[in-house]
Amino acid sequence: MTDEIRQQRTAQALEQRAHDLLLGHSFAQRQIGYIHTLDINHGEAIKQRTLLEVEVAAEKIRKLSSTAHHKYRAQASQQLHQVIDTAMNKQLADIDTVLYETIGIEDNVPAILDILAVKSASVGRLEPLVKDLTWLGRDLVTFVNLPYYRAQRNKHTSVKVDNPSLALRYIGLDNLQFVVPTFAVRHWMPHSTEPFPLLKRRLRDNSMACAIAAQELAKFNGINEVHAFTLGMLLDVGKIALIRLYLRTFERIWQRKVTLAREDQHKDLHTALLELKPDPLFLSTLLNQHALKVTAAVIDKMAFRYLPFNAVLLQLINGAPKKGSLLPLAMLMQKARCYSQCVSLSEHQLVESDEKSLWFDYVGLSKQELEQLEKTNLQHFHIKID
């Protein structure tokens, strides 16, 4: 096996592991075969009384019954997810519905991001667009009134801001280039991700980490910081869409099947279905295989005029036609995505140092870039309000 193939396989395995981690630390551990030490008996065997013959027979019957039930439940889950898979493919083919209903992206958001990407941007051009987005105006007012940012302003003029127009002016165009995409992606996050309670927070943190890493790498390599940060934030819109879509589709189809099983008096099927929950393995595989493609389709539909993201996403999905011919922004996004995912895996002790080295080599992260990223706080952007 060549070094390049080893690096590629390691990168693929770690990306899948990062998606597993989104759905739960224990799930990610199970997927790579971690042994839970609490399940191991390190001491002497515990003495037990000898079972009576009738108890042995009863235990065998219980085990056979349990095994049969588990097989039946697994079969019910497989059939359920075949229907879910078909339904999701049909829904994903209608990108307008994904954009406006599944994620909830209003037309004003791409328009605002486009304005912020050009030198002719002005608060006057942003005001009418922000006014139509109640949630964005509210978030900007809340943000500018945070104690940290109020303390930065002139003490004599540091009054509480109570309207979006004033908030826009206080924050300033340079800061809005980073604040608006952050608030937009947070607004699109699913409201509930049960039965994966930490999924929303981890997805939000990963998006922020990727965007800040991209911004730092852009500074270091002389690439447009706004483009890098914005695409870093938007890179997970495909995951947002898939998570929302899967959880909604599961609930709808599961409910229908439970109702039918009850009406048809299929007791075993009804019992098995009641025990089923959204499948982390199905969702993790879905994210790993389709998230970037959905992101590319959504961003294409957002029809940016000044943000050059479409060609970059095509390269992230398909690779460069020739070795070494990746666009600078595509190469940067590979590095930012790799590093932010690696940080998350490291925090949960789910990646070894040799795996990290292979992954960094595969995406081309230099020693100097790594040193720069290691000095960077990937959790919060640092802006100053005059």
pLDDT band at 44 (very low <50, low <70, confident <90, very high): very low
Which is higher by pLDDT, 154 or 176? 176
User: Residue 198 CA to chain centroid, in angstroms?
Assistant: 11
Which is higher by pLDDT, 153 or 324? 324
* Per-domain boundaries in the chain: 3-30+70-105+193-374
pLDDT of residue 149: 67
Alpha-carbon gap, residue 287 to 294, rounded angstroms: 10
pLDDT of residue 146: 83
3-state secondary structure of 349: coil
pLDDT band at 154 (very low <50, low <70, confident <90, very high): low
Which is higher by pLDDT, 159 or 89? 89
Which is higher by pLDDT, 70 or 149? 70
Buried b (16+ CB within 10 A) or exposed e, 320-357: eeeeeebeebbbbbbbbbbbbbbbbbeeeebbeeebbe
pLDDT at 48 over 50: no
Q: What's the Cα-to-Cα distance from 40 to each of 24, 36, 44, 260, 333, rounded to whole Å? A: 22, 7, 11, 43, 42
> What is the residue-averaged pLDDT of the chain?
88
* Per-residue pLDDT reduced to its tens digit, 243-286: 999 999 999 999 999 999 999 988 888 988 999 999 999 999 99
In this predicted structure, which of 108-117, 124-133, 188-197, 312-321 has the lowest mean pLDDT?
Answer: 312-321
pLDDT of residue 162: 86
Cβ–Cβ < 8 Å for 167, 123? no
Best CA proximity match to 33, nearest among 55, 58, 13: 13
| DSSP string for residues in 255-290 | HHHHHHHHHTT-HHHHHHHHT----HHHHHHHHHHH
Residue 90: Cβ within 10 Å count: 10
Tell me the H-state helices in the chain: 3-23, 25-31, 53-92, 95-97, 108-116, 123-131, 134-144, 147-152, 164-171, 173-188, 199-221, 225-234, 237-263, 267-274, 280-302, 310-318, 328-347, 353-363, 367-374
pLDDT of residue 188: 97
In this predicted structure, which of 10-14, 81-85, 138-142, 317-321 has the lowest mean pLDDT?
Answer: 317-321
Half-sphere exposure of 217 (CA within 13 A, CB side): 32
Report how far apart the first and last C-alpha atoms of the chain are (Å, whole number). 56
Mean pLDDT (whole number) for 44-68: 51
Mean pLDDT (whole number) for 221-242: 97
Residue 65: Cβ within 10 Å count: 10
% residues pLDDT > 70 (the chain): 85
Alpha-carbon gap, residue 343 to 271, rounded angstroms: 42
Please state the φ and ψ torsions of residue 190, each to the nearest 5 degrees. -60, 145
pLDDT of residue 49: 46
pLDDT of residue 133: 96
Alpha-carbon gap, residue 103 to 298, rounded angstroms: 10
pLDDT band at 74 (very low <50, low <70, confident <90, very high): confident
* Per-residue pLDDT reduced to its tens digit, 103-114: 999 999 999 999
Alpha-carbon gap, residue 318 to 111, rounded angstroms: 28
pLDDT at 43 over 90: no
Polymer length in residues for the chain: 386
pLDDT band at 51 (very low <50, low <70, confident <90, very high): very low
pLDDT band at 60 (very low <50, low <70, confident <90, very high): low
Please state the φ and ψ torsions of residue 306, each to the nearest 5 degrees. -120, -5
Alpha-carbon gap, residue 208 to 266, rounded angstroms: 48
Q: Residue 254 is encoded by which pair of tokens?
A: 């599961």
Residue 108: Cβ within 10 Å count: 17
Best CA proximity match to 109, nearest among 290, 230, 243: 230
Based on C-alpha coordinates, what's the Rg of the chain?
Answer: 25
